[in-house]
Amino acid sequence: MIAVMNAYRARKIDEILPMIYLILTSVSIAFFLFSGPVSRNAFYILTYISIIHFIYLVVRVDKKVYLYVLPTLFLLLGLSKLIWLALTTSPHFPLVAYHYQISGKRMVLGFFVLYCIQRNLNHWRFTPRAASFASYLLFALLILIAVTDTMQYLKTGERIKINADAATSGAYMLVLFSMVTIYCLRRFAIKLYRPFCLLAIALTLITLLATETRSALIFYAVFVIFCLGHELLYGKKTHKHIFTTAIVVLGLCALFFGKAYYHPALERLDAIKQEAELYKQGQNSTSLGARLSLWKSAWYSFEQHPLGQSVDSRNALATQYIKQHESSNVEALNNVQYHMHNDLLDTLSLQGIFGGILMLTLFIGLLFYPFVLFPGASAFLLLSLPVTFFSQGDCQFYNRESPYFMLLVLGFLMMLRLADAAPRTGNASSD
């Protein structure tokens, strides 16, 4: 009788636990750009559950720890930040150390979440209804975020930050959030996915224009062109005319009535070529010029200390380089105190060659390893492509918030692959 009760209890836990993971992950992702406390609390609750689940799996079930590629890379990157922090002191620039501490801690905690998800790839299954709930939750929050931030932009006229430290960081995460939402709608809102996806695209573009973040707008525009082109080429013929008409009407309305709204963003896009020309002429105190100066100074700092250094040391070297070789680029000097606007170079300049190798390996792992886990895993490019692209012109892994969001999106995409899927051959725990 006791054995039967234990078996029944274990079966119920196996049914409930996956839903807990999916719900908490969905809530944390959905509220990330709207309410930081809600998102973080959901994440921390999930990590506590995952730590307990991890201990149970390792001690009672598997009797060992599996070295899964992506969870292990996030763990090593988080630990490398914390170890670097313990070995260096930076009294003059404590903000950088604080960001490293928080982002490192959250990546270590996120390891347990990813580990438990990957460990159960052969055991967990989700119903289409559960996946649809997650999809509509993301869609509802996307609407709420777009409306709230657009109204703020119309009221103040200032670049919006979308619940982030900077307008750029918020724009990057909005692109990722929108792409994942559109993927969910396309897969789990079959009957209404066209109008829903079109609305999601329109709202995202409106919000990105309010951030005036050029790289985010360019990347998202390429994504939209690909989506619309794919739909017009491969969608059902009966729906193509309606879909095309809707796109044309929305586009014409935007052109005729929205110029005052999107004009500042277009001016910034037009300024890219001008900034490049000014940099060649020695006038480098622009957004593009500052990035180029920071990248050069980061590489110079790394060359002086290839095994790593403190923030104070790095910033002193970078400042010296910018003053001597970059005409005292004012914009670059103003940003030295934060980061080098490139994740790989920023990590190299602080953690040295070993930290740089870890960062590069993570990018490569995100781009290619999901295809080892799943057949036809192109959906994971919705995460890896924007992360890799935006990390070349900014620092996503310096930010204390972005790393755990990206980590949750990775786990979320893994779980969506299990929605009403047939059992796969092989054992995920052997990866």
Across 223-233, average pLDDT: 81
Q: What is the torsion angle, in degrees rounded to the nearest 10, for the CA atoms of residue 299, residue 301, residue 302 and residue 304?
A: 130
340-369 tens-digit pLDDT: 999 999 999 999 999 999 999 999 999 999
274-307 tens-digit pLDDT: 777 777 766 777 778 888 899 999 999 999 999 9
Q: Is the pLDDT of residue 271 over 60?
A: yes
* Sign (positive or negative) of CA dihedral 284, 286, 289, 294: positive
Q: Is the pLDDT of residue 254 over 70?
A: no
In whole angstroms, what is the distance from residue 57 CA to residue 70 CA?
18
Helix intervals (H) in 32-93: 36-56, 69-87
Across 406-412, average pLDDT: 97
> What is the reported pLDDT for 225?
85
Across 37-47, average pLDDT: 97
Please give the mean pLDDT across all residues of the chain: 87
Q: Is the pLDDT of residue 203 over 50?
A: yes
**What is the chain's Cα-based Rg?**
23
Across 112-134, average pLDDT: 94
Please answer whether residues 412 and 25 qualify as being in contact, where contact means their C-beta atoms are separated by less than 8 angstroms.
yes
Least confident of 100-109, 162-171, 380-389, 421-430: 421-430
In whole angstroms, what is the distance from residue 362 CA to residue 271 CA?
33
> What is the reported pLDDT for 335?
87
Least confident of 234-238, 241-245, 424-428: 424-428
Beta strands of 320-374 (E only): which ranges? none
Is residue 1 packed enough to be buried (19+ CB in 10 Å), middle (13-18) or exposed (0-12)?
A: exposed
In whole angstroms, what is the distance from residue 295 CA to residue 53 CA?
42
Other beta carbons within 10 angstroms of residue 44's beta carbon come to 15
Most confident listed range (81-90, 109-118, 208-217): 109-118
Least confident of 10-24, 163-177, 258-272, 371-385: 258-272
In whole angstroms, what is the distance from residue 67 CA to residue 76 CA?
11
58-74 tens-digit pLDDT: 999 999 999 999 999 99
Across 247-275, average pLDDT: 66
Residue 26: closest CA among 230, 164, 150, 188: 188
More confident residue, 281 or 413: 413
Least confident of 52-56, 117-121, 205-209: 205-209
Give me the half-sphere count of Cα atoms (radius 13 Å) on the Cβ side of residue 281. 9
Least confident of 89-98, 180-189, 246-255: 246-255
Percent helix / strand / coil, the chain, rounded to 5: 80, 0, 20
> What is the reported pLDDT for 310?
93
- DSSP element (H, E) containing 316: helix 311-325
